Amino acid sequence: MSWKLLLFIVIGFSLVLGPIMMMRPKPHEAKRERWRMQLRSLGMHFSLRGLPSESDSSGDLFGVYTVITGKPTQETGWTLVKVDYEHALHCCGVWEWQNQHRPNDEMLKTLDEKLPSLSPYVKAITGSDSGVSLFWTEQGDDRDFATVVDFLKAFAPSPNA
């Protein structure tokens, strides 16, 4: 067998296998899809959106993980955005309120309990009587995902309700 024929065979395999290998999801894409499917299996929702902050004009999209807590309403809910500095007016130190709306006492108590252990990759939280959503970069590992799910489960209605 000549070297030209061998080179032709190698190039032929590369032309066939190259595009097939490029279509396979990268490991971090597969991890994100696994998390999203797990979330759906728990009865929660996923979407991609920008941060709810008026000050964010970057156009970046974040994974929004949502638990529905009641009937959808047209009300404006509360919004918390993580900032780089602590302040006494913030919720749990680094979570800045973005509007005048605040959660009810029960939700506020849950926020106080759960925010300190939340994944550092969560950038914003929105909520109302109809649901709570986390804006997450979907970075980190399975422990970060577990803290996100645990946070949302704390707001989920009890099955007996």
User: Would you say residue 86 has pLDDT above 70?
Assistant: no
Residue 86: which of 116, 52, 56 has the closest Cα? 116
pLDDT score recorded for residue 116: 84
pLDDT score recorded for residue 77: 83
Rounded Cα gap, residues 42 and 36, in angstroms: 10
pLDDT score recorded for residue 89: 61
Domain spans, the chain:
26-155
pTM value surpassing 0.85: no
| Residue 9 buriedness (CB in 10 A; 0-12 / 13-18 / 19+) | exposed
Angle at alpha carbon of residue 133, lines to 130 and 137, rounded to 5°:
170
Cβ distance 70 to 129 under 8 Å?
yes
User: Would you say residue 143 has pLDDT above 90?
Assistant: yes
